[in-house]
Amino acid sequence: MTTVGELVRFLESKAPLGTQESYDNSGLLVGSRDALIEGVLLSLDCTEAIVQEAIDKNCNVIVSHHPIIFKGLKSLTGKNYVEKTVIKAIKHDIAIYAIHTNLDNYLFGVNYKIGSLLGLKNLRILAPTSGNLFKIIVFVPLEYVDAVRDAMSQNGAGQIGNYDQCSFSASGTGTFRAMEGAQPFVGKHGELHREQEIRLELVCRKEHLNQVINAMKASHPYEEEAFDVIALHNQDPFQGAGMIGELEQPQNALEYLQFVKRQFNCGVVRHTQIIKEQIKTVAFCGGSGSFLLSQAKTQKADLFITGDYKYHEFFDAEGEIVVADIGHYESEQFTPILLAEWLNQKNITFAVRFAETSTNPVNYL
């Protein structure tokens, strides 16, 4: 049987916890990593009703998008819905795992799923993350270069865009002298040694940095490896907020908004003035994405779709772009389907079920 810890490792191999926003609380919130999984219930939110549904469906793990514990808990007395939900889960030995902004920020995460439903092509991150990439430079004896490169690549280094095992190498001469207490791989104690070495360079993401360095050290023959780690300012095309893409053909703006309303089963679509009859480039962000409006404008989007837009924020469109608010829940409601698609790629030994309880707190007349 599969353990909760194995499930956690699989999900975090896709959307590492290190990529969540600083304010977030993704991860295993309730339960033991050692528990054996009987069944997994997938939901957008975790509430008392969702916990009860997990009990009824013999699922002892809930994987939700939104974390039920978002701020620190100082007591568990059942005084609000958060505490009641956590207490109920603990009483019934149900683990709760949240995969929130780390899933939002992943290229093939929440927004990618939304983009496919919007009928867009050429999907890419709207606001790519910067400062997430590092270059590792290590000096290796010629005959060990392939082994070191392979070890680093297998642990997350060397991926640039849609290419992997990317590296650069240049030859040179390294010098060193082994002092008392050293156990040199080559050379003699007290003598200056010259060795033909290769300068090997690979790029990796921050979340893989430690494991790449450990793999490099484990595969390197020297007692003391000479290496550098350099922070890069390059944008990461695989990580960031929101997405943007194009329609196959320009479409009438109102007709496309009607399509979006049907596709996401929206009670209402609030939008700014239709300033263009035809639209082709669409920017979007699941959940609350008003902070991305400037990026959508900069990249010449005709339409920006998100949720949770406030009254005064609509004025920020300034006649340059159409803003459409389809609702927070509505925009992210297909996230459990994305998670199920991931789990179906894995050789699982447990049942995966979708929550049938609607957790949308907003109703429409």
Position 142: which residue type? L
Pairing of strands 133-141, 192-205: antiparallel
All residues at 6 or more sequence positions from 129 whose CB lies less than 8 Å from its CB, including other chains = 19, 105, 235, 236, 239, 240
Return the pLDDT at 160. 84
- How far, in whole angstroms, is CA 211 from its chain's centroid? 18
Return the pLDDT at 72. 84
Which of 286, 240, 217 has the alpha carbon at shortest distance from 107? 240
Position 49: which residue type? A
**Over its length of 365 residues, how does the chain's per-residue pLDDT go in tens digits?**
899 999 999 999 999 998 999 999 999 999 999 999 999 999 999 999 999 999 999 999 999 999 999 988 999 999 999 999 999 999 999 999 999 999 999 999 999 999 999 999 999 999 999 989 999 999 999 999 999 999 999 999 998 877 899 999 999 999 989 898 888 888 888 889 999 999 999 999 998 999 999 999 999 999 999 999 999 999 998 899 999 999 999 999 999 999 999 999 999 999 999 998 999 999 999 999 999 999 999 999 999 999 999 999 999 999 999 999 999 999 999 999 999 999 988 878 899 999 999 999 999 98
Return the pLDDT at 182. 87
Instruction: Decide: 55 and 93 in contact? Cβ < 8 Å.
Output: no
- How far, in whole angstroms, is CA 5 from its chain's centroid? 18
Q: How far apart are CA 29 and CA 192, in angstroms?
A: 56
All residues at 6 or more sequence positions from 171 whose CB lies less than 8 Å from its CB, including other chains = 142, 196, 197, 198, 199
Return the pLDDT at 185. 85
